[in-house]
Chains A and B, each alone.
Chain A
Amino acid sequence: MIPRVIPCLLLRDRGLVKTVQFGSDVYIGDPVNAVRIFNDKEVDELIFLDIDATREGRGPDLEVLHEIAGESFMPVAYGGGISSFEDAQRVIRAGVEKVVINSTSYRALDVIREVSAVYGAQAVVGAIDAKKTLLGGHKLYSCSGTREEKVKLADHLAALVEAGVGEIFVNSIDRDGKMSGYDIDLIRKVSSATPTPVIACGGAGSVADLVEAVEKGGASAVAAGSIFVFRGKHKAVLINYPKDAFANV
């Protein structure tokens, strides 16, 4: 099967932004406009992440989600501020296929269990944000990279799979926005430890990087931000999508 190529779009104040290493951000544009452009380009799937919801202690912005879902003729995943089954249910009822759960998975794994039991495993994406340590290991973070988690990567992955996620989304905090390639070592660790599809994210700067995440990292799908919203070395904002990125593989 051809790996999915997925723009991962970050929501902030009802607009889209792109961050570097989960920090400084650039405004990209209006989310619904972006969806319309990605429709025309026939993208495989879209992931929207509200990067402020959990930190601000609020739930998902359902109004924005409703608008996004109404324009999307491809599968849409949403993450950010989902801390209960009811949050997930509201997101799904707004018209989104998949809920992405990160911070909540460290404190209330039962939320994943319940969503998976009611809506099916395919509706739940377990997300992890990781940073490489000096010794070559990986540390996990929640709350948009602001809170370090003690649990080991392998143990947390096993817990997510056991709770019933249908997919794992793995993002590298160090690589975010750098456009210098994925953390292949991290992706490899995740894909070799899980039976579900794995979506790689963080660091893609070219189509070759996308291919590498699949061929060397073992990812089943590749997500990225910068390469789909910037053009050229000065990073002019331009929404784009490579046609047939995996055509020659």
Chain B
Amino acid sequence: MIAIIDYDIGNLGAIANMLARLGANAAITNDADKVGSATGLILPGNGSFDACMRGLRATGLLASIEKRVFDAKVPILGICVGAQMIGNGSEEGEEKGLGWIDMTAHKFPASSGLRVPHMGWGNVRVTQSADPIGSALDPDSRFYFVHSYFLKPAARRNVILEANYGLDFAAGVVEGNIYGVQFHPEKSHRYGKSLLRAFKDLCE
């Protein structure tokens, strides 16, 4: 079962819907037992970084999640702010991130002259074609982005997908069984389905 971690931050139904369409056994949950037996985890995130980090900590699930991710090595996918939470922190707030990948979320510079949030569809470039998720995507894949902060991992090896909005940023990151995507695959038609299908396959 893929556990979609519920800490009351908006719209999780869309993720569950798409996984259901893919025939995955997935559930939105804040139950430690379900997290503890999950074969895959999804960490969603919407809104402010601090609110998400505090919300996640308040569930008391973090120990179970980390046990699952680091001991059982089950795949986890962070989505949007969920991907940023996997890093060390964000310029948006003062809460510490989970620190699983060495990266920070930075604000799009005002000097770019671009409207923020970055909101809309963007193409991504696969930078690691050997990665099981990177290799599952069509070359013309486009995804729905909505964010004001972008990810910049310290090491290139952590970047699997790159996108551009005034500057190049990491649209997808990886460290072993830990994945994060800045966009919303659950709202990205067949391109998102391909990505979630590849993640589901990793979880089985």
Contacts and interface: CB of A to CB of B under 8 A. Distances in A.
Interface of A: 1-4, 39, 42, 44-45, 69-70, 72-75, 92-97, 117-123, 166-167, 195-198, 220-221
Nearest to B81: A120
B60 interface: no
Main secondary structure of the interface of B (DSSP, over half): mixed
Contact of B119 (A73, A95, A195, A197): A197
A119 B81 CA distance: 12
Contact of A3 (B9, B14, B120): B120
A73 B195 CA distance: 13
Given A75-B184, A119-B46, A122-B146, A69 B118 contact: no
Nearest to B146: A122
A70 B17 contact: yes
Interface stretch (B63-71, B130-138, B170-178, B185-193): B185-193
A18 B48 CA distance: 36
Contacts of B115: 195-198, 220
A121 B149 CA distance: 13
Interface residues of B, number: 32
A122 B46 CA distance: 9
Given A75-B144, A221-B120, 13 more contacts: A1-B118, A1-B120, A69-B13, A69-B14, A72-B14, A73-B189, A73-B193, A75-B184, A97-B10, A97-B14, A97-B187, A120-B10, A198-B115
A75 B184 CA distance: 9
B93 interface: no
Main secondary structure of the interface of A (DSSP, over half): loop
A97 B184 CA distance: 11
B51 A118 contact: yes
Contacts of A2: 120-121
A118 B47 CA distance: 7
B11 A122 contact: no
Most chain B beta carbons < 10 A, residue from A1, A45, A166:
A1
Contacts of A221: 119-120
B99 interface: no
B162 to A, nearest CB: 15
B189 A95 contact: no
B121 A119 contact: no
Given A74-B187, A75-B144, A95 B117 contact: no
Contact of A95 (B13, B51, B120, B192): B13
B122 interface: yes
Contact of B11 (A44, A92, A117): A92
Contacts of A195: 115-116
B18 interface: yes
Most chain A beta carbons < 10 A, residue from B10, B122, B190:
B10
B47 A74 contact: no
Contacts of A70: 13, 17
A166 B46 CA distance: 13
B46 A73 contact: no
B10 A42 contact: no
B187 A1 contact: no
A123 B47 contact: yes
B46 A120 contact: yes
Contacts of B120: 1-4, 44, 197, 220-221
B189 A74 contact: yes
A183 to B, nearest CB: 20
Most chain A beta carbons < 10 A, residue from B11, B48, B146, B188:
B11
A1 B116 contact: no
Given A39-B189, A42-B190, A74-B187, A122 B119 contact: yes
Given A166-B119, A197-B115, A197-B119, A119 B13 contact: no
B16 to A, nearest CB: 9
A122 B45 CA distance: 12
Contact of B165 (A1, A92, A118, A121): A1
B187 A95 contact: no
Contacts of A97: 10-11, 14, 187
B124 to A, nearest CB: 13
